[in-house]
């Protein structure tokens, strides 16, 4: 049976209101964040870039390594079905930290 993704897109929820949700994603060398699903468009801001391996927990030979850069800012649109990220593992030698800012749908009734 395949590993189901969690709803936790960071290591710690820092803030949430009716417009945004802000996550800290902090991984020391060797630490991981489990397979997860993004359901909202988001922006991530890299404070301290690291070398991160995205690996399928059901098939560890299926992976890609991504080098994140300090100060990198990226907008990621998420479709209606969500976007699954496989397990993230810091395979580098320095601490990796970024912030994930999920953008909730705006409603004029708010």
Instruction: List strands edge to edge, sheet with 51-56.
Output: 32-33, 87-90, 51-56, 59-67
- For the chain, the structural domain boundaries read 12-103
- Confidence check: pLDDT of 110 > 80: no
CATH topology of domain 12-103: Jelly Rolls (2.60.120)
Mean residue pLDDT across the chain: 95
Instruction: Identify whether the C-beta of residue 4 lies closer than 8 Å to the C-beta of residue 11.
Output: no
CA atoms of 10 and 63, how far apart (whole Å): 19
CA atoms of 58 and 63, how far apart (whole Å): 11
- Confidence check: pLDDT of 109 > 80: no
Interval 52-72: pLDDT, tens: 999 999 998 999 999 999 999
What percent of the chain clears pLDDT 70, i.e. is strictly above it? 98
Model confidence band, residue 49 (pLDDT cutoffs 50, 70, 90): very high
pTM exceeding 0.75: yes
The one-character DSSP state at 2 is P
């Amino acid at each position: 049976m395949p590993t189901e993704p969690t709803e936790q897109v960071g290591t710690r929820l820092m803030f949430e209101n009716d417009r945004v949700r802000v996550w800290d994603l902090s991984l020391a060398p060797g630490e991981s964040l489990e397979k997860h699903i993004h359901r909202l468009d988001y922006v991530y801001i890299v404070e301290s870039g690291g070398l991160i391996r995205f690996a399928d927990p059901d098939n560890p030979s299926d992976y890609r390594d991504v080098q994140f850069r300090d100060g990198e800012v990226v907008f990621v649109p998420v479709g209606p079905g969500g976007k699954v990220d496989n397990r993230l593992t810091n395979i580098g030698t320095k601490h990796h930290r970024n912030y994930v800012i999920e953008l909730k749908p705006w409603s004029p009734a708010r």
